[in-house]
Amino acid sequence: MPRSLLVLLLLVAVVAGSWLARSAMSRWRDLRAAQTYELAAEARPVLVRAGAAVLCLMCVSALGVAVLAGLRPGRVAVRQAVAAVGTERPAAAAPPAPAPVEVLFSNVGRPAGGELLQGEVPGPDGRPRAVRVWLPAEYRQEPAARFPVVVVHSGTAGRTADQDLPDVFDGAASAVELGRARPFVLVTPEAPSGTGHPCDLVTAVPQAVADDQALRAAVGAVFRTRPAGPDGWAVLGVDDGAPCAAAAGLTRPDLYGAAAAVSGRYDGRALAAAAGEAPAGTAPRLLLAAAKRDTDGLASAREVQAALRDAVPRAEVRISGLVQDYSADREQLRLVRVAMQYLTEQLPKP
């Protein structure tokens, strides 16, 4: 079994075991309180959750042994080389890592006055995956500048976001032309093909974001972008990709300075639970945008906002529902423009 799949299963087992253990402890406290006041209470839920947590612990142990046993020195050296690219403070005791393999990006078009390039970056499973990078017109006009990055998530397995939404680049370019946003480099990684619902995977396992360390290293090595991190990188999702962007922004504020989700449908409780596991000391910032006529989308956004207000008070969630135009395509273009304006406002100026 590929090591990447073992790691993914290990992460799922850790998350499930932690949740079951906390649930069992909560049920046990309720049971003790009921016994104190001589109330009727069943012990079965506690035992079921405790047993399931123990089973998850056993799975974690077995998978951990399998992952460690599958490590080979050659693979470790490659991973260290990729992780070393773009880091400002490498460990002093670490031996010099070999240079990473250069990723070649070729021109595949010139949408929205910019330049679209495509390359292949190894995924967590070692297989190559398509990564498209859109450079705004300002990229060639300002050869000394470094540009912030927006990762555009796709909700369709095996596809990049621009393949489903080719006008996403027009929305970004028009926001710059109107003076509402700064020029961004847009990165559209191919969504994982091992699941029919990539956004559910990101919600359950935040470490499974499509732009992993290898992708960020490849983009930073080839293009003039700001260093990967919350000061220079943000995330965007439209339609089916919106839940991916919301999950990535809420769970990984250590990677993204802000997130914008457009015209999506969300599982508010799942997002709130995932956001509760975000690194301490971080405040996720999220925009949920939908057209005025999209009543279902606005209702779903308000559910997310309410769930996060109760579970993760530090999360800053805004809702935009004022966009209205004569066609759905025009509304989507304007919504992307609103999202780019929000991301510009949230990321610090260089």
> For strand 185-189 and strand 128-135, is the pairing parallel, antiparallel, or unpaired?
antiparallel
Name the region of 179 (left: φ>0; alpha: ψ -120 to 50; beta: rest). left
Q: What is the distance, to the nearest Å, from the Cα of residue 50 to the centroid of all Cα atoms in its chain? A: 31
Angle at which helices 268-275 and 242-251 pack, to 10 degrees? 30
Per-residue model confidence (pLDDT) at position 74: 37
Per-residue model confidence (pLDDT) at position 143: 93
Query: To which residue do tokens 């709130």 refer?
Result: 272
pTM confidence score: 0.69
Per-residue model confidence (pLDDT) at position 64: 67
Burial degree of 297 (CB within 10 A; 0-12, 13-18, 19+):
buried
Query: To which residue do tokens 């992460």 refer?
Result: 11
Per-residue model confidence (pLDDT) at position 65: 62
Q: Each residue's pLDDT tens digit in the chain (350 positions)?
A: 555 666 667 677 777 777 777 777 776 676 665 565 555 556 777 677 778 777 777 876 776 666 565 543 333 333 333 344 444 444 444 444 434 557 899 999 999 999 999 999 987 777 889 999 999 999 999 999 999 999 999 988 889 999 988 889 999 999 999 999 999 999 999 988 767 777 777 777 766 666 678 889 999 999 999 999 999 999 999 999 999 999 989 988 989 999 999 999 998 888 888 888 888 778 899 999 999 999 999 999 999 999 999 888 889 999 999 999 999 999 999 999 999 999 999 999 87
- List the Cα angle 336/350/176 in 5-degree steps: 30
* CA-based end-to-end distance of the chain: 45
Per-residue model confidence (pLDDT) at position 60: 66
Query: Partners of 316 in the beta sheet?
Result: 285
